[in-house]
Amino acid sequence: MRFALSLPVAGIVANLVGFSSSVALIFQAANSMTGATAQLTSSWLFALCIGSGVSTLILSLYYRQPVLTAWSTPGAALLIGSLQGVSPALATGAFLFSALMITLCGMTGLFARLMHKIPTALASAMLAGVLVHFGMKVFEQMPVQPMLILSMLLVYLLAKRFYPRYAILLVLLIGGVVARQQGLLHTNIQSLTFVSPVLTWPSFDIATLLGVGLPLFIVTMASQNLPGIAVMRANGYQAPVSAALTVTGVINLVLAPLGCFAINLAAITAAICMGPEAHEEPKQRYKAAVFAGVGYLIAGIFGASIVTLFAILPSALVMGVAGIALFGTIGASLHAALQNESQREAALLTFLVTASGLTLCGIGSAFWGLVVGVLVVMCYRKW
């Protein structure tokens, strides 16, 4: 079988989106601790990248499915506020506590049994609600960089008609050319350097475990692993739920002393590797996740200095490529969500609540959208 350039391109785009959307949060979270240092912050990024890369490679190669993992972006946002005045040792203890609970969820199979009871229509509606913002950001960037966005959209439409396999590659290339011509590329990057991981021995405190570790576990499961599983199901893959939780949990346990606060199933970046733009054959799309996993490992080795590499690209280009790459997945998710007339009302409400960005009790809208959808299904059920 011929090698498809669309596979590494999908992996690279997934890396770009993952870094551009959350690296700043990681730095803020690490710096909010008492006694934080630049070396400690770099160690966090190293551990998170290595953990994401290793778990992605293990799961994707073993199951021959695009099982992409990542760090918990909502978890990082949560830590910015909850780590104020907390020492690195106590933070490490909280990370271990959260990782242990995730591992137990995987080993016992409790979470997998719960996910199997959720209708596919609701899972697809939740996925569409999570991804729709990325599709909308393409057009939100239009007033800011009209020439860049219009050229990318035009290339996408023409490529989908004549060269669908290379649509995203062409969008990325033409977007880069236009950005360079408009002077949007930042070339003042520093040289890449290797990171020196910092080992932090854990300390345990009940208040920190309950105030940091428990919320981190809940947010990671509800706002990250839940949509991650929905992404796989919506794209026709049998998600290895228990295995994924066990692998990410164990790797999180091992790397927590280096700053790995939470590794989980990816949703948005995973969707980039699972759509038809990655490869026309669903059985080949796991290779896109493999390329993304390798990208995470490279980024981890160079630590914080890799951020300067991603800073070359303007946000309009990154958001444009990400949104365009997700057009197909958004459309397929909405189709799967609304085609069953008996569950259409529940799926619609799931989509709307998820897309609203609602946050209650520190838990994101994906969880609450699913809760609303399940309640509507139960309400309409014939008892």
DSSP 8-class letter at 257 = G
Domain range list for the chain: 6-339
Write down the pLDDT at residue 150. 92
pLDDT tens figures, 282-329: 899 999 999 999 999 988 887 656 656 665 677 788 778 778 877 877
Q: Which alpha helices (H) appear in the chain, and where do they start and end?
A: 6-31, 38-63, 73-82, 88-108, 110-116, 120-140, 146-162, 167-181, 206-208, 214-220, 226-234, 241-255, 268-274, 286-302, 306-310, 315-325, 327-338, 344-356, 365-380
Angle formed by the axes of helices 6-31 and 73-82, nearest 10°: 10
On the question of pLDDT at 208 being above 90, the answer is no
Query: In the predicted model, what is the mean pLDDT of residues 148-170?
Result: 85
Contacts 24+ apart (CB under 8 A), 24-29: 25/73, 25/76, 25/77, 25/80, 26/71, 26/76, 27/304, 28/76, 28/80, 29/76, 29/77, 29/79, 29/80, 29/83, 29/261
Is the distance from CB of 109 to CB of 247 less than 8 angstroms? no
d(CA 219, CA 229) in angstroms, rounded, equals 15
The better pLDDT of the pair 295, 365 is held by: 295
The better pLDDT of the pair 134, 68 is held by: 68
Write down the pLDDT at residue 13. 84
Q: How far is CA 365 from CA 12, 203, 227, 231, 370, in A?
A: 27, 33, 10, 15, 8
The better pLDDT of the pair 247, 73 is held by: 247
Q: How far is CA 298 from CA 22, 173, 192, 304, in A?
A: 17, 22, 11, 11
Task: Tell me the percentage of the chain whose pLDDT exceeds 70.
Answer: 92
d(CA 356, CA 368) in angstroms, rounded, equals 10
On the question of pLDDT at 4 being above 80, the answer is no
On the question of pLDDT at 231 being above 90, the answer is no
Query: In the predicted model, what is the mean pLDDT of residues 76-85?
Result: 80
Write down the pLDDT at residue 362. 67
| Coil, helix or strand at residue 280 | coil
Write down the pLDDT at residue 308. 60
Write down the pLDDT at residue 378. 86
Sign of the torsion formed by the C-alpha atoms of 180, 185, 191 and 194: negative
d(CA 79, CA 49) in angstroms, rounded, equals 18
Query: Two tokens at 79?
Result: 């830590």
On the question of pLDDT at 6 being above 90, the answer is no
Hey, which of 79-88, 248-257, 300-309 has the most confident mean pLDDT? Answer: 248-257
Write down the pLDDT at residue 97. 95
Supply the mean pLDDT for the chain: 84
* DSSP secondary structure of 203-230: ---HHHIIIIIHHHHHHHIIIIIHHHHH
Lowest mean pLDDT: which of 107-111, 191-195, 356-360? 191-195
Task: Tell me the percentage of the chain whose pLDDT exceeds 90.
Answer: 26
Query: Two tokens at 324?
Result: 């365009």
Write down the pLDDT at residue 192. 61
Write down the pLDDT at residue 76. 84
Write down the pLDDT at residue 182. 84
Is the distance from CB of 168 to CB of 6 less than 8 angstroms? yes
